[in-house]
Structure 1
Amino acid sequence: MRWGTYFAVCAAVISIGLALGVTMPLVSLRLESWGYDSFAIGVMAATPAVGVLLGASLAGRLAARVGTTRLMQLCLLLGALSVALLALVQNYAVWVVLRLFLGVALTVVFILGESWINQLAVEKWRGRLVALYGTGYALSQLSGPLLLTAIGTATDSGFWTGVGLLIGGSLVLLGRSGAPRVDAHSASGRGLPAFCRKLPAIAWAVVLFAAFEAMMLTLLPIYGLRQGFTQEVALLMVSVVVVGDAALQLPIGWLADRMSRQTLFRACGVVLLSSSLAIPVLLHTPVIWPVLVAFGASAGGLFTLSLILIGERYRDDELVRANAHVAQLWGIGCLIGPLATGAVSQWVSGHALPLMMALGAAGFIVLAFRGSLGSDLAQAER
């Protein structure tokens, strides 16, 4: 086990989470201050999802030509450039283009980085090692809104902080080796419909968590403001959700190495449904804080367990291809979640965010209890 490389790759991917945790709420709050409505903010939040879909189709071809490590470094630097331009050119239409480009660049890093982490993990520790990565990523997102609160939203300091983090993520990969071997077709994204047919619960879990993450960083602060909370409390709500995600991923990973992963997977779906339904009812009571913790932990558990189930069966090209499908599904979730929630919030219900998550969790539970979650995984690409 190459521990130095494992932690370096984790750090590179985690730098993205911290950078996005600082910049994504800042973008939404800036648009809110400019007078844009929920749907316009939802469109901005969903724009990187299109970039995710493009990045998933390009990652394999680019990695085969450039090399996995070098491509990850280059994409982190391109991401830093995009964030810098967000600070320099503050215009809605330009921001849409920049966030699209940011989605492409950072998706390549996610696909290759998560494949690299899963390949490095030894089987008996896979649950804990993947969960440790998930915990680090969640903590980076927790630290992002907290850091933004400390920096303040009146200036562009949050954007420049994101630039520095992405440059740092590129530097930690210098000299690292042992990345998955990739050919030009590994991450082309072919086979996604077959993957979803074979593994509908895992596919939907990825979509659901992607929607969750996009909405937590972009729409949850707006949800809090419009329910009567101050900006500081609204950002704290985001942080508490991410605390739940971060604090409980290692226990979930530990359990995944010791009990049925299918049972644990289903349990996360049940907790997510229950906590989503409880948020509108308990929002203005002290009980909302533990509910938000459970909300974040259960959503994060779905994604962690999805990666564990995939990583235990795939290596090299097949692992990169499976993670390309995960990225495509992630893009779909990031696209659907904010757009649908922004529209429902504006035209149907102010509690659209938790109610849409409850609907998604109910769909996952139906899929998860219909059959096996992992027995056909090895054939999902065939």
Structure 2
Amino acid sequence: MRWGAYFAVSLSVISIGLALGLTMPLVSLRLEGWGYGNFAIGVMAATPAVGVLLGAVIAGRLAARLGTPTLMRLCLLSGAFSVGLLALLQSYPVWLLLRLLIGVQLTVVFILGESWINQLALEKWRGRLVALYGTGYALSQLAGPVVLGLIGTGNDAGFWLGVALLIGGSLLLIGRGGAPRVDPHSASGRGLGRFCLNLPPIALAVVLFAGFEAIILTLLPIYGIRQGFSQAVSLAMVSTVVVGDAALQLPIGWLADRMSRQTLFKACGVALLLSSLGIPLVLHSPLIWPLLVLFGASAGGLFTLALILIGERYRDDALVRANAHVAQLWGIGCLVGPLAIGAASQWLTGHALPLMMALGAFGFVVLVWRHGLPAVEAETAS
């Protein structure tokens, strides 16, 4: 196994997590300070999702022409340029366009990077290696709000640090090998419907976690402030959720190599349902902190297991195509989640964030219990 390539690609994608952990809350808090409501902030949070859908369509064709490492480096560098413009051109309409571009640029990196990681992983270590990547990514997002709290939100330092991180991530990929072989149609995005019909629990898990990640970094700070907490405490809530995501991914990956992955998948869905329902009940008590840890761990576990289950079923072109579908589903989750929760928070209930996550988790639990997952051999052959 190419350990150097595995760690370089993982760290490159992880640099995106830290950059987003810095810039996404900063954008939301800046809009809050400008007087925008929940729905307008939700629209801003959802805009990259359109870019995700576009990125899923073009990733395979561009990778076939330019090569996976070259394309990933170019997208990281152009993403750094777009983040820099967020600091220089502070206008709501301009930010919408820039967030759209960032969605396209970073989606290509995610599709190709996660395919590369899964391609490199040996089957007997797949759960732990994918979980190690997931832990690093979650820790990077945890570090984002923490660093943002230290450097402050009243200046543009968070944007410029994000620029530096993306440039650094591009440099890590120089000279790395072992990437999946890609033809022009591998990640074209065609076949999403078939993918969802073959693996409906995996599809819904990706949508759920995408919506979760978008709202945690953008709407959870606002939820905390609107429920009477200070900005510092609200950012600490975001960090606590991501601590849960990060802390338990390696144990989940370890278990995924030693027990039924489908059983573990179900358990994460049940835990997400119960923790989501519990948040409004214990919000102003000390119990909220361990509950937020469980909330983050269960949501992160769904996505980690989805990647593991995909990696054991697909290779090369099929793996890149499957990850393109993951990106499309991610875009749907990022689009629907912030818009729905932003609107419900403004016009229905202030606790829309946890309650709508509970609704999604309930749907997942029902789906995975009724349909399960097909055998690995059947999916590998398809």
Aligned-pair CA distance for 1:199: 1.1
CA distance in 1, matches of 2:212, 2:121: 27
Question: Corresponding residue for 2:286?
Answer: 286
Change over 3 Å in CA distance of 1:198–1:377 after alignment to 2: farther
Aligned-pair CA distance for 1:313: 1.7
Task: Say whether 1:163 aligns with 2:163.
Answer: yes
The unaligned stretches of length 5 or more in structure 1 are: none
TM-score by length of 1: 0.99
Q: Is the 8 A contact 1:198 1:380 kept in 2?
A: no
Change over 3 Å in CA distance of 1:377–1:39 after alignment to 2: farther
CA distance in 1, matches of 2:130, 2:115: 11
CA distance in 1, matches of 2:308, 2:366: 21
Question: Corresponding residue for 1:111?
Answer: 111
Q: Is the 8 A contact 1:121 1:129 kept in 2?
A: yes
Task: Say whether 1:41 aligns with 2:41.
Answer: yes
CA distance in 1, matches of 2:202, 2:378: 13
Map 1:90-169 → 2, pairs under 5 A: 90-169=90-169
Question: Corresponding residue for 1:60?
Answer: 60
Change over 3 Å in CA distance of 1:303–1:329 after alignment to 2: same
Question: Corresponding residue for 1:24?
Answer: 24
The unaligned stretches of length 5 or more in structure 2 are: none
Tell me the amino acid that sits aligned with residue 167 of structure 1: I
- Find the residue that maps to 2:188 and give its secondary structure: coil
CA distance in 2, matches of 1:313, 1:28: 38
CA distance in 2, matches of 1:298, 1:338: 19
The Cα offsets for residues 263-293 of structure 1, whole Å up to 9 and x where unpaired, read as 0000000000000000000000000000000
- Find the residue that maps to 1:228 and give its secondary structure: coil
Aligned-pair CA distance for 1:378: 4.3
After superposing the two structures, state which structure 1 stretch, 156-165 or 368-377, moved more.
368-377
Tell me the amino acid that sits aligned with residue 201 of structure 1: P
CA distance in 1, matches of 2:320, 2:148: 34
Q: Is the 8 A contact 2:8 2:173 kept in 1?
A: yes
Q: Is the 8 A contact 1:134 1:304 kept in 2?
A: yes
Aligned-pair CA distance for 1:371: 2.3
Tell me the amino acid that sits aligned with residue 48 of structure 2: P
The Cα offsets for residues 107-134 of structure 1, whole Å up to 9 and x where unpaired, read as 0000000000000000100000000000
Map 1:78-97 → 2, pairs under 5 A: 78-97=78-97
Question: Corresponding residue for 1:309?
Answer: 309
TM-score by length of 2: 0.99
Taking only aligned residues, the RMSD between alpha carbons, in angstroms, comes to: 1.0
CA distance in 1, matches of 2:380, 2:87: 43
- Find the residue that maps to 1:154 and give its secondary structure: coil
Aligned-pair CA distance for 1:381: 9.2
- Find the residue that maps to 1:132 and give its secondary structure: helix
CA distance in 2, matches of 1:335, 1:380: 30
CA distance in 1, matches of 2:147, 2:173: 24
Change over 3 Å in CA distance of 1:163–1:381 after alignment to 2: farther
Q: Is the 8 A contact 2:314 2:379 kept in 1?
A: no
CA distance in 2, matches of 1:352, 1:183: 43
- Find the residue that maps to 2:35 and give its secondary structure: coil
Q: Is the 8 A contact 2:78 2:105 kept in 1?
A: yes
Aligned-pair CA distance for 1:379: 4.0
Tell me the amino acid that sits aligned with residue 52 of structure 1: V
CA distance in 2, matches of 1:343, 1:119: 40
CA distance in 1, matches of 2:148, 2:256: 34
Question: Corresponding residue for 1:230?
Answer: 230
Question: Corresponding residue for 2:329?
Answer: 329
Aligned-pair CA distance for 1:374: 3.8
Q: State the identity as a percent.
A: 77
Change over 3 Å in CA distance of 1:379–1:122 after alignment to 2: closer
Q: Is the 8 A contact 1:241 1:292 kept in 2?
A: yes
The Cα offsets for residues 88-125 of structure 1, whole Å up to 9 and x where unpaired, read as 00000000000000000000000000000000000100
Q: Is the 8 A contact 2:313 2:376 kept in 1?
A: no
Q: Is the 8 A contact 1:201 1:367 kept in 2?
A: yes
Question: Corresponding residue for 1:77?
Answer: 77
Question: Corresponding residue for 2:198?
Answer: 198
